[in-house]
Structure 1
C-alpha cells in the first residue's frame, strides 16, 4: 500500500516536471588502430530530481555500417549501488517503444518504489535513452503533432486515406534527418547498447526491459552472445506472430481492460460513474464527440470520439489510475475533455514512438482497402474502443511513411541467459499471451503470471519483486506455471 500511494503522488508530481535534462557530462571518443572505442565520462547530475546520481553522454555512429560517419549522442543516468560491498553489476533499464528510460527512472525515484530494494542496494542502475528518444539525439519532427486536426486514423473514404498519407509524409519530412530516421531499427539500438556496455567496463549486463525492450534484449543477445547475464522482462511484447495476429491480440486486450473497468466502476465507490452502465455512458460520449468535438482548456483543441477511444488504453494501463479515468470521462460528459487529452505515461512521446515503429514494425495492411478491412475487424472485436490502440496508431501512422521497414527476421535462439517474463493477466497494452509467445522462443525462460491489470510490477507486486530479485542476484527462476496474486 505504501508503494501504491507513493506511485499516485509521483504521477501527479510528474505532470509538472520538465522533461529536459542537460547532462553535466560530455562524451569522449578515443581511437585505437583506426577503430572507435566508446568511453563515458561521468559527472554529477545537475537536476534536483537526479541529485547524487551520475549523468553522462556517449557518442555513437548514426550508421554502424559506416562508423566514420556522423555521430549522434546517447544520454545516460546512473544510480550507483548503495551497498557497493554487495554489488552484483550494472542493470540496464530499458523502457518500451518510444518511451524514455531516463524518465522511467525518474518516475521510480519520485515514487520511492526503489528505496531499500535489492535493485537499489546491489546494482548500478543505468538508464539509457535509445537513439531518437527523449534526452538522446531525438527525432523532434519540428514539434509537429503526430496527427494534424481533421485527419483520421480510421478513414472512411479514399479522400480521407489520401489525407492520412499526406499527413504522415509531412511529419516524416519535418523530422529532417533522413539518415537517423532510417537507422532507428532494433539492430542499430542493440549496437548502441553494446557500446554502452564497453563504456561501462562490464563483462556482462543485467537487463530490465518493459514491453518492446524485452524483444530488444532478445535482439541484443542474438547479436552479442554471452553479453547478458540475466534478463527481466516486465509486460513483454513479442516478435514472432504475424502483424495481424499481434494487432488482434492488442485490440482484444484493451477491450477486455475496458470491460473490467466498466464492471469495477459499476460497483466501486471510487468510480465517479458508480451505479451506471459505464459501457453505454462511454458509447454515448463517443457518439456525441463525433457529432460535436468536446472542448478542452487548451484553446482551439477539442476531442472527437476517435480521440476519446484512443485515450482509454493509456488510462487503463494501471488499475491504480482507474478512479482518475472515471473522473476524466465524467468531466468530458460535463463538457470538459481536458483530462482525456493528457497521457498518464509521461515517458512516452507519440511522434518518437512512430518514427521507431515505422522502421521496426511490419505493416498489418497497406492502402485504403487493406486498412478498411482491418478496421471492420477491429470494430467487431472491440465495440467500445473500436480498435483504437497503439498498434492501430502505428499501423495508420505508418501509411505512406517514406522509410522502409527494417525489422530483424526472427531467428531460432539456441542459448539464452536466465530470463523471467512477468506478465499481467489483464494488461491493456501488453496482452497476457505475448509473454508466453516470447518465452517459447527463449530456451529456459519462465513466465511468471501476475493476476491483475498492471505493468511496472517490480514496484507494484511484492511477489514479482521477490522473484525478480532471485533472478537478478542468484540467476534462479521460479517454477514454470507460477502465479502471483499480490
Structure 2
C-alpha cells in the first residue's frame, strides 16, 4: 500500500493508445505561488490532449546567465505530486543537499502532477474503503479470496463513480504524451529529466516514444516495465526480505537501535504472530499483521527512519504494547487512489484463480520467510484482482532507441526497486549507463551523496559516468 512515507463496473471504452498523440500546447502562464519553503515558486496549469489539465510548478534557475534549460521531475508513486514536492523546496528531490546546488543554479526545476494526480484535473478520486484492514491480501481459503475480489470490485466501482470516465485514461503510456506537451509549452527543444522510482518508468516511456527529444535523463530507483508482473512480485519480495535482514544486522551494532542485543528477526516474527494484531492507541483500533508489516516496510525505505522503526517494534512488543509508532508508516497516503488506478492499468493482476494466488503465496513465503506479508507489488497486484477497468498498458518488451545517453541508477539494497530491475532497464535502453549504489534505502538520490554528485555532473554536461561505476 502506498503509505504516508512514501503515495467501475461498467464497461468503459478505452481510447486506442495510438489515438492520443501529443499536440502543440499553448505557452504556460506562470503565476507566483510562493511558500515558506519556496519563496520563488511559480505555478500554472496546462491543458493537454483529452480531458486533462496538468498542474505545474517551477523553481527558476538562480543563475540565469548559466542556465542549461528546464529539468522535469517526477517523485515516483505512481500518484506522487511533483508540485507538492516543489512547494516544500524540492526536498523530495534532495534539492536541499549540497551536491544539488548546481541543479538549482542552472536549471528551471519543473514539478508536475501527472494526469489524474494531485492538483491536476480531473483527479482520481476513490472512497475511504479502498483499504479495509478486515480484508486480507493473503487469503487463507477460497472464501477469503472471494471476499478480496468482491472488495476490490466494490471499491473500484466507487473510484469510477467519483472519477468518471477519465479513470480509464490514466496510465503511463498516455502520461508520457503529457510530458511532451509540457516540453512543447515550455519552449524547450529537448527534455532534461530526473525521475525516481515510478518516475523512472514514466521517463523511460517518454524516451521510447520521443527519443530525439531527450537531452539528459536520470532514471533512479529504476522500474523495468518489461518485466512480467509475476516476476516483479518475486523480485521485490526478495528485496524486501533483504532490507529487513539489513535492518536486523544494523540493530546488532548500532547504538541508535533500541532492539540491540535482541534477536530482531525473532522479535519481528513474534510481533507478526500476535493474535488479533496490536493496539494502536492513536488510531483507536488494532493494527493487523499485514498493516504492521507495511508500516515497517515504509520505514525501511530510508535508513534515516531505521531508529524510529526499531522503536516502533519495541513499543509494539512491550508489556503494554502500542503500535502507534508504526501507524504513520502504515496509514494510506491521500494519493493511494491514483497509486492503485495507475498501477492496475500499467501492471494488472496476474492471478487467474484462488489456486493460482495460493501458489504465488507459497513462493512469496519461501522467498521471504520473515517479510512476506508486504511488498508494494504484492499489495498492488492483490488490489488489482477484480479491478473494473481493463489494463491498457501491461508489461511488454520495451526498447529505447536513438536517444541521447541515459543514466540508469539502481541500488544493491533497495527494498522497493531491486537492482535487477535497473540492470534490465539499462539493457533495454540503447547507449545507457548503469550507476550502482552500494548503500541502503530506496533510490540513490535520497540516500547517497556520491550518486547525487554523479547525477548532477551528468545533467549539466550530458556525459554519463564511466561504465561499471559503483557508489560506495
SS at match of 2:428: coil
Number of the residue aligned with 1:102: 83
Number of the residue aligned with 1:5: none
* Residue pairs, 1:170-319, within 5 angstroms: 170-175=154-159, 176=161, 177-288=163-274, 291-319=275-303
SS at match of 1:127: strand
Number of the residue aligned with 2:413: 426
SS at match of 1:37: coil
In the aligned structure 2, how far is the partner of 1:56 from the partner of 1:345?
31
1:287 Cα deviation (Å)? 0.5
1:79 Cα deviation (Å)? 0.2
TM-score by length of 2: 0.88
1:348 Cα deviation (Å)? 7.1
Number of the residue aligned with 2:40: 52
Distance 1:98 1:364, change over 3 A: same
Number of the residue aligned with 1:139: 124
Is the 1:234–1:421 Cα contact (8 Å) retained in structure 2? Answer: yes
1:459 Cα deviation (Å)? 4.9
Number of the residue aligned with 2:153: 169
Number of the residue aligned with 2:364: 378
In the aligned structure 1, how far is the partner of 2:401 from the partner of 2:95?
39
Q: CA RMSD in A?
A: 2.2
Please tell me whether residue 388 in structure 1 is matched to residue 368 in structure 2: no
Q: What CA deviation, in whole Å up to 9, does each residue of 1:300-327 have, x standing for no partner? A: 4321112112222221111111111101
* Residue pairs, 1:42-81, within 5 angstroms: 42-61=30-49, 63=50, 71-81=51-61
Please tell me whether residue 397 in structure 1 is matched to residue 383 in structure 2: yes
SS at match of 1:342: helix
In the aligned structure 2, how far is the partner of 1:79 from the partner of 1:327?
37
Number of the residue aligned with 1:7: none
1:458 Cα deviation (Å)? 3.3
Out of 177-186 and 109-118, give the one that drifted further: 109-118
Please tell me whether residue 359 in structure 1 is matched to residue 345 in structure 2: yes
Please tell me whether residue 113 in structure 1 is matched to residue 96 in structure 2: yes
Please tell me whether residue 470 in structure 1 is matched to residue 457 in structure 2: yes
In the aligned structure 2, how far is the partner of 1:346 from the partner of 1:473?
37
Distance 1:460 1:157, change over 3 A: closer
Consecutive unaligned residues of structure 2, counting only runs of 5 or more, are 8-22
Q: What CA deviation, in whole Å up to 9, does each residue of 1:72-112 have, x standing for no partner? A: 32111100100000000000011222222223334564576
TM-score by length of 1: 0.86
In the aligned structure 2, how far is the partner of 1:344 from the partner of 1:370?
28
Please tell me whether residue 437 in structure 1 is matched to residue 424 in structure 2: yes
1:451 Cα deviation (Å)? 1.3
Is the 1:413–1:442 Cα contact (8 Å) retained in structure 2? Answer: yes
Please tell me whether residue 350 in structure 1 is matched to residue 323 in structure 2: no
What count of residue pairs does the alignment treat as equivalent?
443
Number of the residue aligned with 2:65: 85
SS at match of 1:190: helix
Out of 466-475 and 291-300, give the one that drifted further: 291-300
Number of the residue aligned with 1:417: 404
In the aligned structure 1, how far is the partner of 2:294 from the partner of 2:352?
21
Distance 1:131 1:179, change over 3 A: same
Q: More relative contact order in 1 or in 2 (CA 8 Å, sep 6+)?
A: 2
Number of the residue aligned with 1:8: none
In the aligned structure 1, how far is the partner of 2:137 from the partner of 2:446?
35
Q: What CA deviation, in whole Å up to 9, does each residue of 1:361-398 have, x standing for no partner? A: 14332321211111111111111111511100011100
Distance 1:285 1:243, change over 3 A: same
Distance 1:351 1:58, change over 3 A: same
In the aligned structure 1, how far is the partner of 2:330 from the partner of 2:289?
19
SS at match of 1:481: coil
Is the 1:104–1:347 Cα contact (8 Å) retained in structure 2? Answer: no
In the aligned structure 2, how far is the partner of 1:236 from the partner of 1:268?
30
1:344 Cα deviation (Å)? 8.6
Out of 279-288 and 386-395, give the one that drifted further: 386-395
In the aligned structure 1, how far is the partner of 2:331 from the partner of 2:305?
11
Is the 1:419–1:445 Cα contact (8 Å) retained in structure 2? Answer: yes
Is the 2:41–2:87 Cα contact (8 Å) retained in structure 1? Answer: no
Consecutive unaligned residues of structure 1, counting only runs of 5 or more, are 1-13, 20-34, 64-70
Distance 1:179 1:197, change over 3 A: same
Number of the residue aligned with 2:12: none
Is the 2:405–2:463 Cα contact (8 Å) retained in structure 1? Answer: yes
